[in-house]
Amino acid sequence: MAMESASQEFVVLGMMSGTSLDALDLTVSHFVQVAGSMTWSGHIEAFSSIPIPAEWKSRITALMDASAVEWHRTSVDWSKWCAKQIKELMDLGSIDLIVFSGQTVFHRPESGWTGQLGHGAVLHAEVDCQVPIVCDLRSLDVSLRGQGAPLVPVADALLYTKYEACLNLGGFANISCSHPIDGNRIAWDIGPCNLVLNQLAFRAGHAFDDGGRMAATGKVHADLWSQWMSLAYHEREAPKSLGSEWLTNEFWPILESREDARSLEIPDLLATAAAYIASQIRLAACGKTTLVTGGGAHNVELLKLLEGANSSFVLGDKIPMVLPAANVIDGKEAHAFAFLGLLRALGQDNVWNSVTGASMNNMGGALWGNFARRGT
C-alpha cells in the first residue's frame, strides 16, 4: 500500500483588481498543506502589477448606468484583456490553477446580490483551456445572506497566524482579527480609504496623493471631519461591507452639499479625509499588532497618523504596525485570492460565516476545467 504524502504543494496564479481601479495585480503563489490538516503555508514567488489603462477605468466606471448588454460585453472584453496580460507575462506550464477575483462594480448584499466583471469561461478559453479557473467567489455567500466581503480573512487566519490583526488599505480599508471572546475570525470594511484620497487628488490633477504629501500640508476642516465621522455606517456592528454606491449616496453628498465645497483647498480636503480615515481605522484596530498591506501602505502621511499620538482629529489607540516586504504589501490580496480559489478547487470551505454573517460557512466560487491535486 502506498504511503500517503506528508504534504501537498500547489502553484496558483492569483488575479486581483480592487475598487480603486489602480492596477491588475498578479501573483504566482506557492502553497503547501500538511496532509490531513488545515495547516497551510504559502509565499509569493512572483508579483506583477499592471496599471489599468484610463480607457478601461472610464468604461468600468460607466457601467453604473449602463445596459445589461453593455455589462455582458464589458465582462467578456475585460476577461480577454486580463487573459492577454497573463499570457504576455506568465509561463502557464507550471501553474496548477488560476483564480480570477473579478472587478467589483455593484455590491449590494442587503439586496442579496453582488456584481463582478470577469467571466471564468472566457478566461479559460483564452488560455486554451490549459489551466482550470476559479472565479465568482462572492455570489454564494451573498445568496446565503452574507456580506460577500471581506473574503481575505480566511487567508489571514490560515497563512498569517503570527499577527493579531491584518489591515488592508485598499479602495476601502478593511480589517480582520480574532473575536475577543470566542476566538473566531471576524472582519469588516472599516470605511473608505484610497478611493476617497485618489478622487480628491484627481481634482488637483493627480492620479493619487503621492506619499500623502498634499495631505501633510493641509489643515483639517473640523465640521466636515465631524460629519464624516458621524456617518451611520460607522455605528453598525460587524459583519458589514461597503461598495462604491455608498460613497455616491452617503459620503460625497456631505462634501458636495456645502456652500463652500468648490472653494475648499484640495490639501485641506485630503488632510480632513486622512484624519477621518485614520481615526476610523485606529478605533477599529484597538491597538493590536497589525500587518498592514495594500496601496495605502505607501501613503507615508496616513501611516504617521495611524501610528502617532492621538489628537483632536485623530482618535483611538495608535497602531503597532508591521510593514512586510514590498511584494507582500502590494500582492497580498492577489495572493489571498489565489489561496481562496485553491480551497474551492480542493472542495474546502473558503468563506466563514463568522466573517460575513452568512447562514453557514461556504465554498464560494465557480470552477472551470479539471483540477487535479499535485502531491509531493
pLDDT for 52 beyond 90: yes
The beta strands (E) that lie in the chain are given as 7-17, 23-34, 40-51, 97-100, 103-108, 113-117, 133-135, 165-169, 172-178, 185-192, 290-293, 321-322, 366-368
- What pLDDT shows up at residue 330? 97
Taking the CA of residue 107 as centre, how many other CA atoms within 13 Å lie in the half-sphere pointing to its CB? 27
Residues of the chain with pLDDT > 90: what percent?
89
Provide mean pLDDT across the span 30-56: 93
Provide mean pLDDT across the span 302-310: 94
What DSSP string runs through 114-178?
A: EEEE--HHHHHHHTTT-S-EEE--SHHHHHTT------THHHHHHH-TT-SEEEEESSEEEEEEE
pLDDT digits (tens, 9 = 90+) for 272-282: 999 999 999 99
- What pLDDT shows up at residue 122? 98
Domains and CATH numbers, the chain: 7-148+331-368 (3.30.420.40), 162-319 (3.30.420.40)
pLDDT for 182 beyond 60: yes
- What pLDDT shows up at residue 373? 55
pLDDT for 76 beyond 80: yes
Stated pTM of the model: 0.93
- What pLDDT shows up at residue 1? 36
pLDDT for 375 beyond 70: no
Provide mean pLDDT across the span 234-238: 96
Answer yes or no: are the C-beta atoms of 25 and 49 closer than 8 Å.
Answer: yes
Range among 16-20, 32-36, 71-75 with highest mean pLDDT value: 71-75
- What pLDDT shows up at residue 5? 59
